[in-house]
């Protein structure tokens, strides 16, 4: 039986307005200990567009700092699971992260976006009944999801609205 694989710690702070939830890091991301570490994953390209800002190309910690400054947080819906390879369809025996409890610790949270169908299916179950926070399903940034980048980007563009300053 394949061993359990675990998600990373959340990347958030008290200013997080938008939390993007993936399913479970893939093999390359796990090996690099980086969210969206596969070079063909389009996450970082999509975030450049959403933020209308460049992200440091090589320095992972600087990329994360840029996301935090913009009010973007990252985490995964799955805490641990068995999986051979990197495909979401291969996730077995998963235990979810405590998403509702965690969302309650983020005072500025306005939206939670699910990066892909598996993240949405698992995450929406965990967040049923959450009030005052928009839940948004996104096409996966994974290279395994073969939608054209321009179409993915159009679906990710509305995230900008949750990062804009709130009217007082």
Over its length of 168 residues, how does the chain's per-residue pLDDT go in tens digits?
677 888 999 999 999 999 999 988 888 898 999 999 989 999 999 999 999 988 777 789 999 999 999 999 999 999 878 676 666 665 677 789 999 999 999 999 999 999 999 999 999 999 988 999 999 999 999 877 778 999 999 999 999 999 987 665
The per-residue pLDDT for 159 is 98
Domain boundaries, the chain: 14-163
Helix axes 43-51, 149-156, angle to 10 degrees: 50
Contact 66, 53 (CB under 8 A): yes
How far, in Å, CA of 61 to CA of 166, rounded?
Answer: 27
The per-residue pLDDT for 144 is 76
41 catalytically annotated: yes
Q: Would you call 134 helix, strand, or coil by DSSP?
A: strand
Domain 14-163 has CATH 3.40.470.10: yes
The active-site residue, picked from 12, 23, 29, 41, is: 41
pTM score, two decimals?
Answer: 0.93
Spatial neighbors of 165 by CB under 8 A, at least 6 apart, are: none
Spatial neighbors of 141 by CB under 8 A, at least 6 apart, are: 36, 41, 42, 43, 46, 115, 116, 152
């Amino acid at each position: 039986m394949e061993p359990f694989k675990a998600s990373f710690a959340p990347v958030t702070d008290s200013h997080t307005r938008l939390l993007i939830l993936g399913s479970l890091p893939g093999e390359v991301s796990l090996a690099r200990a980086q969210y969206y570490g596969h070079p063909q994953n389009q996450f970082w390209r999509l975030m450049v567009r959403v933020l209308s800002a460049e992200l440091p190309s090589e320095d992972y910690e600087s990329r994360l700092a840029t996301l935090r400054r913009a009010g973007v947080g990252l985490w995964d819906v799955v805490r641990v699971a068995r999986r051979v390879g990197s495909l979401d369809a291969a996730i077995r025996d998963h235990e979810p992260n405590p998403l509702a409890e965690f969302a309650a610790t983020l005072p500025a949270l306005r939206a939670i976006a699910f990066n892909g169908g598996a993240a949405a299916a698992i995450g929406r179950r965990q967040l049923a009944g959450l009030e005052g926070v928009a839940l948004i399903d996104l096409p996966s940034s994974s290279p395994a999801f073969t939608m054209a980048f321009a179409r993915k980007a159009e679906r990710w563009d509305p995230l900008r609205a949750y990062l804009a300053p709130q009217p007082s």
